Structure 1
């Protein structure tokens, strides 16, 4: 309920600003028409007039894009032609007028809906109570319809901007092809980086312990002192146990079996249990996401928690996983020292994993903290 009220208030402010800018846009549209009409058949003159007209249209359109982004939460592409900006302004002023009508309806509905309060407070002799009640109910009904109109006009504003300022179909396809090529190359690089990391973990960890184990067993075999041989065998046994732990750690970092066997929630709870600092888990998914989405979500949490414990010295970590409108949201926040490098190997690899699913990864880590890692993963 609180979010709905905030949204309505935010949209109302955006429509009031839009009503004010609609006056300027209407004047600019009429002025542009008057300036272009005499030179419509004169190419050189048309170009000379179009240049300042289109420049002014782009400035007004940028103001509109900022209004849409701040108040109506409508994001449009920054890549558009100047002629698209002029066409957008020529259509947008009508929506601005409609928004002004809606806001006027809100004021009238609010006035009539609350009329009973000041009538009974200010008028000593209120004789026609029925008229007051009906007037108040009619005002409240008008207010209800006007609030619905606020949301509807706000949505129309966003759709108009996307329709007239959005990229053309060909440009959208070209951009999509470029994104797919970049994500494919990123996946290949991520796979190669993962292989190098596995090789490094095996070489520096498990392999070194196995070499030490072989040396201990060889010394025990060559030793003629039973007590010394027994100590060497005990050391070899301890070394084998540590090698097995390292091997399990490497296997767990490659891909946790609990993700397939018990699901994403159990795998994330394992990450929380293995961390050396308290991790609070807020899991809001009602169903199990697809394997690809679950895998990327798991590695986002795992890498973010590992980085926080290793570099930020936090006292607590909060992991939140939820879904909204077909998108899985993952966030990891810690109260550590901050200053995380988003271009580092770990977070950069995560960004490529997320981008491979057409998702988005964002890292906010000011010096002194806190650090917040968020990922948005499209999920059917």
Structure 2
């Protein structure tokens, strides 16, 4: 849904500093490091979701020869300047989308890669900044663009105030799995007749009025709708599909792809990708993730089941409760295009997604 102004490439070298970033705890960090085994890496590892730098710093500290850290959010790269200089030329900061990670790795002189890690979704820092418009708990402009307010492409306010009611309902249902999508879309359409809906709290109030009050322990009534709008604004599932295909192209034989997801839509895509690219259950694939009978597996799974956080991590970081890690090791079979229909993507994404394997 956003113009394809990408890939971009390395940013200017950061000033030297050892001050770490703050405000975000990387989930399943020990498990990600175990999958990537940075000390044994024969080449660069690409962190496609730099964020506050938790994975990047840990991978470098664990002995990786080089890390290419990518983020589409310019503010994440600016924060990284405070500590990146301590790693010298072992760290390259790159602005761009992880759907282009193969091209970005080439531009950084890091291909083929020894590893790729992706932490999918919105970061804690983005949620905590009211001006970004991601959170229904803090009032701010209804934006949600990960590249920031200066980015091209529609904001959440643009979608909420201009989309036909039926199209808005489709977004809420397909990307938020919101059962009351039609009721909420109707309420939004009625509310915007009195004037544009410009702020996060204004939208949250409209949504909340359509749904029963949340009981203790239940998520806020606007959770699913805000998730849906954020995914639509940033084409998050399309980017995920492109990133999986790009990682297959970019990884050297023996390289590892590790993906951490936080909700069922993301996890379903990653699960079906790995099932298809590893030969499917028992090597035969499935109706959801078909594979060619003559195709050699492109990945060997590191675990048949997703890795989840243990009690100790959950106690110190409740955000890890919904996190799932899936990982696979690249074989020497050549990369190949894949039909996105088999990934479990919502119809809206399949309709707008370019050929994933291109």
**TM-score, shorter chain, exceeding 0.5:** no
TM-score by length of 2: 0.22
TM-score w.r.t. structure 1 length? 0.21
Structure that is richer in helix per residue? 1
Structure ID, larger Rg: 1
